[in-house]
Amino acid sequence: MKLLRWFGFVILGLISVLLIFGGWVYFASQRKIDKIYSIHPLSIRIPTSQKAIQRGHHLVHAVLGCMACHSRDLAGRILINVPIVGRIVPKNLTSGKGGIGGKFTTKDWVMAIRNGVSPNGKSLLLMPSLSYSYLSKRDLGAVIAYLKSIPPVNRSLPANKVGPIFRFVIAKGGSDLLSAEVVNQHQKPLHLGKKGTAAEGYYLVHIAGCMHCHGPNLAGGTVPDGAPPGTPPAANLTPAGIGTWTKKDFIHLMRTGETPGGTSINNFMPWEVFKNMTNSELKSIWLYLKTIPPVQSSSSKKS
């Protein structure tokens, strides 16, 4: 009898601890989700020339990879839908029914893309604005000009729902989920370097988000929060990692997802986007990767 009562106390204790923990996760995450950012968005001019729209098309389809999340027609989709994790819904970017294209002002576009902030002042979830914050003013203008030119698609999507696992990741801090928290809100746009040089490679590596997955020093490691379970660590791109590769090996991987050893890499590495870069752009990235300091890491696997 005594034992049974003791057991009851233990269970009660455990339940209270769980409730307190759950409450903390809920309120700590909600506070961050509801945080209002006051942003002074970069002021840019949206070009209207066909040339600028083409540049925007190229950046979106070959470098920035908006379709990877917002779907091929850019009209949005449900990207993650697992009750315990959450439901994450990249928006319909067109001007069709259910899309934001017809409603967004230039300021709204700029804030979403480079600050990770919605017109209501709250952080977006999972938007890779950290990488896009490096876009030059001219390229950002071209991207928005292109997005304004895409055909309207009617697609209404459900709202996001942040489940317990994402709430915990947000509450504990240091996660990649709340875009506005990750972005340096004072980041100045970078300049597109001279075409075909390491300087252009530096720019492309920044805006294409190589560092987002391969780490700030490009030495590889754990992929960001929100990656599907089972995604392998990102590879070491410093000379300590792919130093024995030739330029041809590198371009082949970026176009086919195939390593020099002939293995197909995990398609969380967005080579299906990067394969659309020009040879000159891929060469620039290669030249830049040759200039970065070698860093040994556990992702320096043999290929």
Q: Which residues form the interface with ligand HEC (CB under 6 A)?
A: 60, 64-66, 68-70, 79, 88, 90-91, 93, 100, 112-113, 118-119, 124-128, 132, 143, 147, 160, 205, 208-210, 212-214, 223, 231-232, 234-235, 237, 241-242, 250, 253, 259, 265-266, 268-270, 274, 285, 303
Q: Is the CB of 18 or the CB of 193 nearer to ligand HEC?
A: 193
Six token digits for residue 54? 């083409």
Q: Is the CB of 25 or the CB of 269 nearer to ligand HEC?
A: 269
Six token digits for residue 132? 């896009």
What is the closest distance, in whole angstroms, from the C-beta atom of residue 15 to ligand HEC in the complex? 33
Q: Is the CB of 16 or the CB of 296 nearer to ligand HEC?
A: 296
Q: Is the CB of 25 or the CB of 206 nearer to ligand HEC?
A: 206
Q: Is the CB of 25 or the CB of 104 nearer to ligand HEC?
A: 104
What is the closest distance, in whole angstroms, from the C-beta atom of residue 144 to ligand HEC in the complex? 8
Is residue 231 within 8 Å of 267, Cβ to Cβ? no
Is residue 254 within 8 Å of 274, Cβ to Cβ? yes
Q: Measured between alpha carbons, how far is residue 245 from residues 16, 242, 251, 255, 260 in Å? A: 56, 5, 10, 15, 8
CA 259 to chain centre: 24
Residues in contact with 247: Cβ distance below 8 Å, sequence separation at least 6, in sequence order: 283, 286
Q: Is the CB of 25 or the CB of 123 nearer to ligand HEC?
A: 123
Is residue 259 within 8 Å of 253, Cβ to Cβ? yes
What is the closest distance, in whole angstroms, from the C-beta atom of residue 88 to ligand HEC in the complex? 5
Q: Measured between alpha carbons, how far is residue 265 from residues 29, 54, 142, 192, 232 in Å? A: 34, 30, 32, 29, 9
What is the closest distance, in whole angstroms, from the C-beta atom of residue 48 to ligand HEC in the complex? 18
What is the closest distance, in whole angstroms, from the C-beta atom of residue 147 to ligand HEC in the complex? 6
What is the closest distance, in whole angstroms, from the C-beta atom of residue 5 to ligand HEC in the complex? 49
